[in-house]
């Protein structure tokens, strides 16, 4: 009995010690992340100096990625970029480290270096913002950047939605290149490339109306009416309230010479949304004499 009592006491003491340690770390985390808490909340009541002492002690005696990440983020938020980089350098080569180094490079005004780290992470949102900034003045460069992002995302195989978005943006950029091309064969080549990218986006996200409509409209522009009809019908099945998809079916019918069907599609689409872009396009087409 005496031995079992001692064991129970020892187990209780260990449990209490563990609870104190974890409670201390939690309180320190509250302090270092207090800026994200609402005013008056518990995290804002824990002194930041306390949090720093705890985390710096952990970094000395029990270094761990979450410790270095927290200290790096804290230093970065306060503009101490060298300290932030020093902590980030101690992290293993993971997307977390690359994202941190990207933020540090951006804070230093090193946009090209930040983009390299964004691609390494990969941070799809950051890369896409950079591609959007490029797209209007150099759509080919934007296309290449999105293509590099797509390759990184494919290697991970864990970001199908982001990969679909990258393919869709590549299609948009390919169309921008096509509209600037002076040679018909080059316009056709880039337009076909856009269609392939939209096809890839819909293969990954078959219920996304934006991708399906882009695919359908591109097929119409290229005269691939069977493909266009199939994509518009798929978009309408995914969203029966899509005036764009319904009017798109009318566009296909009109291209095939069936004005009566096109008129029926237009009336039905108008009831759904008279301001739809596809509704207006079909109205214009129908005003043109056969």
Q: Which residue has the higher pLDDT, 144 or 66?
A: 144
Is 20's pLDDT higher than 50? no
Q: What is the pTM of this model?
A: 0.75
Nearest to 222 by CA among 194, 242, 250: 194
In this structure, is residue 50 part of a structural domain? no
List pLDDT tens digits, range 187-200: 999 999 999 999 99
Segment 140-159 mean pLDDT? 90
Q: Which residue has the higher pLDDT, 14 or 244?
A: 244
Rounded distance, CA 167 to CA 196, Å?
A: 9
Least reliable range by pLDDT among 2-11, 190-199, 203-212, 246-255: 2-11
Quote the number of domains for the chain. 1
Contact 245, 258 (CB under 8 A): no
Is 55's pLDDT higher than 60? no
In this structure, is residue 23 part of a structural domain? no
List pLDDT tens digits, range 86-130: 888 888 888 888 999 999 999 999 999 999 999 998 998 899 999
In this structure, is residue 240 part of a structural domain? yes
Is 175's pLDDT higher than 90? yes
Name the DSSP class of 206. Answer: T
Q: How confident is the model at residue 78 (pLDDT cuts 50, 70, 90)?
A: confident
Rounded distance, CA 133 to CA 146, Å?
A: 12
Q: How many helices (H) and strands (E) does the chain have?
A: 16, 0
In this structure, is residue 287 part of a structural domain? yes
In this structure, is residue 83 part of a structural domain? no
In this structure, is residue 164 part of a structural domain? no
Q: Which residue has the higher pLDDT, 262 or 60?
A: 262
| Residue 271: domain span | 225-290
In this structure, is residue 259 part of a structural domain? yes
Mean pLDDT value across the chain: 82
List pLDDT tens digits, range 217-266: 999 999 999 999 999 999 999 999 999 999 999 999 999 999 999 999 99
Tokens linked to 74 = 């804290």
CA–CA distance from 164 to each of 120, 124, 129, 203, 208 (Å)? 18, 11, 16, 8, 10
Q: What is the CATH classification number for the domain harbouring 287? A: 1.25.40
In this structure, is residue 179 part of a structural domain? no
């Amino acid at each position: 009995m005496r031995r079992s009592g001692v064991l129970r006491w020892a187990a209780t003491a260990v449990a209490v010690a563990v609870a104190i340690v974890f409670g201390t770390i939690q309180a320190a985390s509250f302090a270092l992340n207090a800026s994200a808490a609402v005013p008056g909340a518990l995290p804002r009541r824990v002194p930041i100096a306390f949090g720093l002492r705890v985390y710096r002690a952990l970094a000395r005696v029990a270094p761990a990625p979450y410790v270095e990440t927290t200290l790096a983020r804290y230093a970065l938020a306060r503009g101490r970029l060298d300290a932030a980089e020093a902590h980030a350098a101690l992290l293993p080569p993971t997307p977390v480290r690359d994202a941190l180094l990207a933020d540090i490079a951006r804070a230093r005004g090193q946009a090209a270096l930040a983009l390299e780290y964004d691609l390494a992470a990969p941070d799809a949102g950051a890369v896409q913002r950079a591609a959007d900034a490029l797209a209007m003045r150099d759509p080919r460069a934007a296309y290449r950047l999105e293509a590099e992002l797509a390759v990184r995302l494919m290697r991970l195989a864990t970001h199908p939605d982001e990969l679909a978005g990258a393919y869709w943006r590549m299609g948009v950029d390919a169309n921008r290149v096509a509209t600037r091309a002076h040679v018909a064969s080059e316009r056709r080549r880039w337009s076909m490339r856009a269609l392939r990218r939209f096809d890839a986006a819909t293969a990954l996200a078959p219920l996304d109306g934006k991708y399906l409509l882009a695919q359908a409209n591109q097929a119409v522009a290229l005269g691939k009416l069977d493909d266009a009809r199939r994509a518009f019908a798929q978009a309408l099945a995914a969203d029966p309230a899509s005036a764009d998809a319904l009017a798109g079916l009318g566009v296909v019918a009109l291209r095939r010479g069936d004005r009566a069907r096109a008129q029926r599609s237009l009336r039905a689409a108008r009831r759904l949304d008279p301001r739809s872009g596809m509704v207006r396009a079909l109205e214009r087409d129908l005003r043109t004499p056969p």
